């Protein structure tokens, strides 16, 4: 998100962004030459209480640089870049690399970290979560090449909070696209969802943004939706839409079982999937049952983080 940072596939890439957003006292000290302008927004009185912060990203600059390439195994799953990243040139490091600089805007939402932690502990003991873990192991073994180092698939499995935040992001991308003036394919997500670990504090939040290569950036239609009344209306509408899918009950009760190895649950093109330009995980790790109270075919129903749609 920072103008001077090359955004790449890295486990630690979102951490500085998350830490910056946690310090609103720094927001007024921003300088336009960084390409970043961020404003703390007032929470609407009717915004769901488990959404604790709203930040409007009035201006942002994103730099995408091609540093090399890999084949077969995705870097976000294996993460052994040093051994498998192929350089762009045959003679040492290049003096320049192809890059693009885009400008745009966005909306950042933060979830209640304590509530997420409590919900996550409850989810990890559910049969549904175990089914997803087993499916991920099967998927990893079947799609893991011999060119990569040995990796324990369990350490590459995103925690339940990632599934929760990721699903919320996709629901909001669909909703915001209808009112922002931008197509859903032009909106992208940035997910901040990890547990408290040495070197990084716990996170649960998301950034939905849009960028353009034009020097003036975008038109402000997305960040305008961060205003309290507009945002709480869009969030409520998105939650209610997520409770129903035209493919239900098949979609709502989809649970992987051996030999199936798909990496999503109650999610499909009708209700939750986004375009490749929008999703950072290729429509993996999505399940509406972590999001709302929905029936499941694998044991008892799991508690949705936002509860029942009837209570909204």
CA-closest candidate to residue 234, choices 168, 142, 297, 283? 168
Contact 254, 288 (CB under 8 A): no
Write out the chain's pLDDT in tens, 312 residues: 433 333 334 445 688 889 888 888 777 666 556 678 888 999 988 899 999 999 999 888 888 888 887 776 666 666 666 667 778 888 878 888 899 888 899 999 999 999 999 999 999 989 999 999 999 999 988 887 776 667 788 888 999 999 999 999 999 999 999 999 889 999 999 999 999 988 889 999 999 999 888 766 678 889 999 999 999 999 999 999 999 999 999 999 999 999 999 999 999 999 999 998 899 999 999 999 998 988 776 667 889 999 888 766
**Residues of the chain above pLDDT 70, percent:** 86
CA dist 195 and 311 (Å) reads 28
What is the pLDDT at residue 284?
A: 94
Q: How many CB atoms lie within 10 A of CB 298?
A: 20
Q: What does the chain look like in DSSP terms, one character per residue?
A: --TT-B--S-TTTTHHHHHHHT-GGGGGG--GGGT-EEEEEPPPTTS-TTEEEEEEEEEEEEEEE---B--SS-HHHH--HHHHPBPSSSSSS-S---EEEEEEEEEEEEE-HHHHHHHHHHHTTSHHHHHHHHHHHHHHHHT--TTSPP--GGGGSPPHHHHHHHHHHHHHHHHHHHHHSS-GGG-EEEEEEE--BTTB--EEEEEEEEEESSTT---STTGGGGSHHHHHHHHHHHHHHHT--TTTTTTTT----TT---S-SS--TTTT---TTT-TTTT-S--GGGTS----SSSSPPPPTT--GGG-
What is the pLDDT at residue 110?
A: 96
Contact 270, 251 (CB under 8 A): yes
What is the pLDDT at residue 158?
A: 93
CA dist 72 and 127 (Å) reads 31
């Amino acid at each position: 998100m920072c103008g001077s940072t090359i955004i790449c596939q890295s486990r630690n890439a979102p951490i500085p962004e998350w830490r910056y957003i946690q310090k609103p006292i720094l927001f007024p000290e921003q300088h336009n030459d960084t390409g970043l302008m961020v404003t703390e927004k007032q929470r609407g009185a009717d915004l769901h209480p488990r959404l604790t912060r709203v930040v409007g990203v009035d201006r942002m600059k994103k730099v995408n640089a091609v540093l090399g390439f890999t084949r077969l195994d995705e870097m976000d799953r294996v993460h052994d870049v040093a051994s498998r990243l192929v350089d762009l040139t045959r003679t040492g490091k290049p003096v320049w690399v192809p890059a693009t600089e885009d400008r745009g805007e966005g909306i950042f939402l933060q979830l209640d970290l304590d509530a997420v932690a409590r919900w996550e502990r409850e989810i990890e003991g559910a049969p549904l979560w175990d089914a997803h873990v087993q499916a991920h192991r099967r998927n990893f073994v079947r799609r893991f090449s011999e060119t990569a180092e040995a990796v324990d698939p369990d350490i590459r499995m995103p925690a339940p909070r990632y599934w929760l935040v990721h699903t919320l992001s996709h629901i909001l991308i669909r909703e915001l696209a209808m009112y922002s003036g931008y197509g859903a394919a032009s909106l992208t997500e940035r997910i901040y969802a990890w547990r408290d670990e040495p070197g990084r504090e716990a996170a649960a939040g998301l950034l939905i943004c849009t960028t353009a290569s034009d020097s003036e950036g975008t038109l402000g239609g997305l960040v305008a939706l961060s205003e309290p009344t507009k945002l709480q209306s869009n969030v409520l509408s998105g939650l209610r839409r997520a409770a129903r899918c035209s493919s239900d009950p098949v979609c709502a009760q989809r649970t992987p079982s051996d030999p199936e190895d798909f990496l999503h649950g109650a999610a499909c093109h009708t209700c939750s999937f986004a375009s490749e330009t929008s999703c950072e995980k290729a429509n993996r790790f999505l399940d509406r049952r972590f999001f709302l109270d929905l029936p499941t075919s694998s044991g008892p129903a799991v508690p949705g983080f936002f509860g029942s749609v009837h209570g909204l």
